[in-house]
């Protein structure tokens, strides 16, 4: 018989990080597109959708987006009527910071909090230029943790508890492929964009059918010709 020695449980002295709630919010066309193929600036939703975006941003400690979305909008994602220090942090994921200019409006207000997660391939000069206005975290591919795991660990250490993912389709895949999103807010707009290269709600590599993510509908609200849908993760 194998005897097992039972060690006394070590007293916990380290404060455990609080759990992170992750929710996403994007508007799609009837055919699932979130923007035109050329990534040009185009707002899909109506005023009701923009109001809903403000409601959700108000609930977020940080807003996460892909570099491509920043390259399209070039603006800081703000909550209307909220003082600068209380604005949600804006978090950007990029490999090499290509096409991102420190002269954009996004970087103008020194009181706003910005964090970039970049790969080690990001040129040092670009990193240095952004460090004047933003925190830049270099991801470590050798750490044995996925990109999102490294981002989330850092954000939790910074006190982020409610993270709003605003897209686009590339970054959504980073989160969806690991089933990290607790709540999906989707505005279905009565429009059709078409085009094989137009970004969709979730792009990336995609799942094999047995591995796909199943969700539960938790709310469906009709406002004019738009549907405001909330789907939840099945736990
Ligand atoms: N309808 C809506 O609600 C909505 C919301 C948001 C965006 N949009 C639209 O969506 C379009 C942009 O979406 P998108 O799918 O093209 O791109 P995206 O998800 O915004 O950004 C993709 C970029 O993020 C970076 N990235 C993603 N995963 C990464 C990883 N694991 N490691 C390092 N970097 C990573 C890369 O940046 P680098 O290229 O710098 O390496 C990649 O090219 C725009 O047209 C925008 O207008 C629509």
DSSP 90-114: EEEEESS-TT--TTSGGGT-TTS-E
User: Exposed, middle or buried: residue 41 (CB in 10 Å: 0-12, 13-18, 19+)?
Assistant: exposed
Nearest CA to ligand 1 atom 16: 68
Cis peptide before 184 (omega within 30 of 0): no
What fold is seen in the domain 21-233?
A: Dihydrofolate Reductase, subunit A (3.40.430)
Q: Domain segments of the chain: what residues?
A: 21-233
**pTM for this structure?**
0.93
Q: Which of the 8 DSSP states describes residue 144?
A: S
- Ligand 1 close to Cβ of residue 169 (< 6 A): yes
Contacts of 227 (CB under 8 A, 6+ apart): 187, 188, 220, 221
- Ligand 1 close to Cβ of residue 34 (< 6 A): yes
Q: In tens digits, what is the pLDDT along the chain, a chain of 235 residues?
A: 444 444 444 555 556 667 899 999 999 999 999 999 999 999 999 999 999 999 999 999 999 999 999 999 999 999 999 999 999 999 999 999 999 999 999 999 999 999 999 999 999 999 999 999 999 999 998 889 999 999 999 999 999 999 999 999 999 999 999 999 999 999 999 999 999 999 999 999 999 999 999 999 999 999 999 999 999 999 8
Nearest CA to ligand 1 atom 13: 168
| Strand 21-28, strand 162-165: pairing | parallel
């Amino acid at each position: 018989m194998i005897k097992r020695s039972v060690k006394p449980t070590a007293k916990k002295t380290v404060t455990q990080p609080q759990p992170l709630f992750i929710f996403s919010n994007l508007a799609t066309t009837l055919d699932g597109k979130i923007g035109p193929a050329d990534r040009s600036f185009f707002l899909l939703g109506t005023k009701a959708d923009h109001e809903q975006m403000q409601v959700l941003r108000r609930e977020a400690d940080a807003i996460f987006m892909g570099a491509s979305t920043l390259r399209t909008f070039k603006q800081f994602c703000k909550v209307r009527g909220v003082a600068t220090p209380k604005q949600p942090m804006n978090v950007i994921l990029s490999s090499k910071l290509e096409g991102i200019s420190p002269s954009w409006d996004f970087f103008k207000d020194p009181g706003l909090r910005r964090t970039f997660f970049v790969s080690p391939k990001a040129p040092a000069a670009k990193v240095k230029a952004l460090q004047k206005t933003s925190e830049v975290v270099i991801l470590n591919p050798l750490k044995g943790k996925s990109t999102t795991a490294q981002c989330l660990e850092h954000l939790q250490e910074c006190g982020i508890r409610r993270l709003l993912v605003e897209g686009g389709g590339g970054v959504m895949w980073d989160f969806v492929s690991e089933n990290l999103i607790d709540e999906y807010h989707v505005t279905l707009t009565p429009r059709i964009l078409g085009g094989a290269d137009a970004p969709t709600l979730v792009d990336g590599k995609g799942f094999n059918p047995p591995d796909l993510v199943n969700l539960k509908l938790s709310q469906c609200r009709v406002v004019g010709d738009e549907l405001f849908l909330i789907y939840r993760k099945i736990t």
